[in-house]
Chains A and B, each alone.
Chain A
């Protein structure tokens, strides 16, 4: 397996971690959004990842085992709405209730930490691979 294939997998992992972090950012920014283009409040979003075969030059054992990663879909949780009593709100209904996104800030913070840690892990894997390549060049000195 050549180094550039490893770099490709690392890049896919970094992109996936970035996508997760982007969605968390979006959820955090819209924690109080009561109005969207589709009508209704903002719906909590989550990312699902899927593994993807990579093409490269390896022997048959590695070719089946190694998988890259990509974002499969960003899904909305349609049920993540809670009604809060706020009669003065412009979007309140006749009874004085406002539909607000049901986003758990603690959950989003936890997701943010795992996304950022997995990004760091991918960077570390990249650095390890790079150092391996540079060490290889020092052979025979």
Chain B
């Protein structure tokens, strides 16, 4: 998002500009953040799968733990979906720009 460079030329209120400390590495990319989010959601999906398997095979886990794991996976997936929708929205907004 840095490449767009909306900061140059246009005056943006200070509150909207992300403050980076001198120590912070400015190289944290949007794609990395997205990949981490996908990984986390995937982990939760696997955990939910495992919980359901435990209930069905050897009755090791309790039913409510499995349901909670499923709901957690559901909510995290929906969150990721919203992030994706926002990203696509921003992309399409940029594509609609008049040159």
- Residues 49-83 of chain B: 1 if any A CB is under 8 Å from the residue's CB, otherwise 0? 00000000000001011001001100100110010
Q: Which of A126, A133, A137 contacts B68 (CB 8 A)?
A: A126
- In this complex, what residue of A is CB-closest to B64? A14
Q: Considering the chains assembled together, what is the distance between the CA atoms of A134 and B72 in angstroms?
A: 11
Known: A4-B72, A130-B71. A11 touches B78 (CB 8 A): no
Asked if A98 is at the interface (CB within 8 A of a chain B CB), the reply is no
Q: Which DSSP category, helix, strand, loop or mixed, fits chain A's interface?
A: helix
Interface size in chain B (residues, C-beta < 8 A): 10
How many residue pairs between the two chains, A and B, have CB atoms under 8 Å in the bound complex? 27
Contact A130 B64 (CB under 8 A): no
Residue pairs across A and B with Cβ atoms less than 8 A apart, 27 shown, are A3-B75, A4-B72, A7-B68, A7-B71, A7-B72, A10-B68, A11-B64, A11-B65, A11-B68, A14-B62, A14-B64, A15-B62, A15-B64, A15-B65, A18-B62, A18-B64, A126-B68, A126-B71, A130-B71, A130-B75, A133-B75, A134-B75, A134-B78, A137-B75, A137-B78, A137-B79, A137-B82
Q: With A126-B68, A126-B71, A130-B75 given, can you name 16 additional A-B contacts, CB distance below 8 Å?
A: A4-B72, A7-B71, A11-B64, A11-B65, A11-B68, A14-B64, A15-B62, A15-B65, A18-B62, A133-B75, A134-B75, A134-B78, A137-B75, A137-B78, A137-B79, A137-B82
Chain B residues in the interface with A (C-beta under 8 A): 62, 64-65, 68, 71-72, 75, 78-79, 82
Chain A residues in the interface with B (C-beta under 8 A): 3-4, 7, 10-11, 14-15, 18, 126, 130, 133-134, 137
